[in-house]
């Protein structure tokens, strides 16, 4: 008897297959968004979310509230380090904050 698959696993599989046709940046945006809280921690995750990962190594982060801008700016290097550690390689080189 086959084990039933979780809907979230099926959905993720469909999304990743559709993203395979697109650039690596779309796949990274999705993967980082999905694990964002685990990557940067709950404090930072409450302030910003992944908006877009660009092919040039930039990540655009969207503020949940404009008042977080200065604090998030002080975490940029930490965010880069945690993302790259999660990815297992130095892909992200710059954080850009958008509101």
Q: What is the pLDDT of residues 39-71, one digit of tens each?
A: 999 999 999 999 999 888 999 999 999 999 999
Q: What is the pLDDT of residue 16?
A: 66
Closest listed residue to residue 94, CA positions, set 56, 64, 62: 56
77 located within any domain: yes
7 located within any domain: no
29: containing domain: 23-98
Model-level pTM? Answer: 0.75
14 located within any domain: no
The count of domains in the chain is: 1
Residue 38: give its domain's CATH number: 3.30.300.180
78 located within any domain: yes
Burial pattern 60-96, b for ≥16 Cβ within 10 A else e, equals bbebeeeebeeebeebeeebbebbeebeeeebbeebe
**Is 70 exceeded by the pLDDT of residue 74?**
yes
60 located within any domain: yes
Spatial strand order of the sheet with 94-98 comes to 48-53, 58-63, 94-98
């Amino acid at each position: 008897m086959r084990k039933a698959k979780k809907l979230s696993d099926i959905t993720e599989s469909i999304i990743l297959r559709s993203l395979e046709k697109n650039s690596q940046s779309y796949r990274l945006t999705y993967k980082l968004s999905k694990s964002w809280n685990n990557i940067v921690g709950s404090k930072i995750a409450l302030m910003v979310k992944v908006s877009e990962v660009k092919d040039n190594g930039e990540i655009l982060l969207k503020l949940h509230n404009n008042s977080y801008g200065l604090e998030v700016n002080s975490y940029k290097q930490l965010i880069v380090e945690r993302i790259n550690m999660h990815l297992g390689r130095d892909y992200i080189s710059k954080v850009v904050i958008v509101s």
